[in-house]
Amino acid sequence: MRNRSLIGTLVALLLMSGAAAAHAQEVTQAEKDRALQYLESTKKNVLEATKGLSDEQWNFKPAPDRWSVAQVMEHIEAAEDFLRDFTKEKVMSGPAGEPGRDVKKTDEAVLTMVPDRTHKAQAPEALVPNNRFGSSDGSVKHFIESRSATEDFLKNTAGLRDHVTDSPLGKLDGYEFVLFIAAHSERHTKQINDVKADPNFPKK
């Protein structure tokens, strides 16, 4: 299946990643608030984009090689689970980033480039949809729970700037991986809306 996602390149890099030594910076409260707001707004947009769909609409595929709303939603969730767990278990236990790293520039790169669907990469097998959640209700429930876990991680984790890992956007710290999660869901909400805009999308 030819669905494309920046997450594919990221996962490949994460699985082979190493970290470099260095200088730590603290995440400010304003930065945490910004990330939390982004997580909340992108959650709202995902839920609005998938609200009230019939089974036929949920499973409609614009073409054999394109994903349905159900499949895109599952990919968003699988990617969020993967990235959050990877950040908690690997990024946060690795060495620090390089001294003088321009975190604001990298933050903005995540927020700008990840939602941009002109950048393509193949979704890795681990994040290809396989009906993990069984139904639209199960999928939405899991998404809400997963996003809550990501928000809790952001709120309750110290040292989010202390460690970095390679990504398609360069080395990202824990805070930037949280931004990446939200940006990735924004990216694929656009894909859901594209499916819904297809002229053959069921009326109900």
Domain ranges of the chain: 6-129+137-196
Would you write out the chain's pLDDT as a tens digit for each of its 204 residues?
Answer: 444 455 666 655 555 444 333 345 789 999 999 999 999 999 999 999 999 999 999 999 999 999 999 999 999 999 999 999 999 999 998 778 888 889 999 999 999 999 999 877 678 888 999 999 989 999 999 999 999 999 999 999 999 999 999 888 889 999 999 999 999 999 999 999 999 999 999 998
Q: Which fold has domain 6-129+137-196?
A: Four Helix Bundle (Hemerythrin (Met), subunit A) (1.20.120)
Distance between CA atoms of 190 and 204, rounded to whole angstroms? 20
Distance between CA atoms of 86 and 89, rounded to whole angstroms? 5
Q: Could you tell me if 69 and 196 are in contact, meaning their C-beta atoms sit under 8 angstroms apart? A: yes
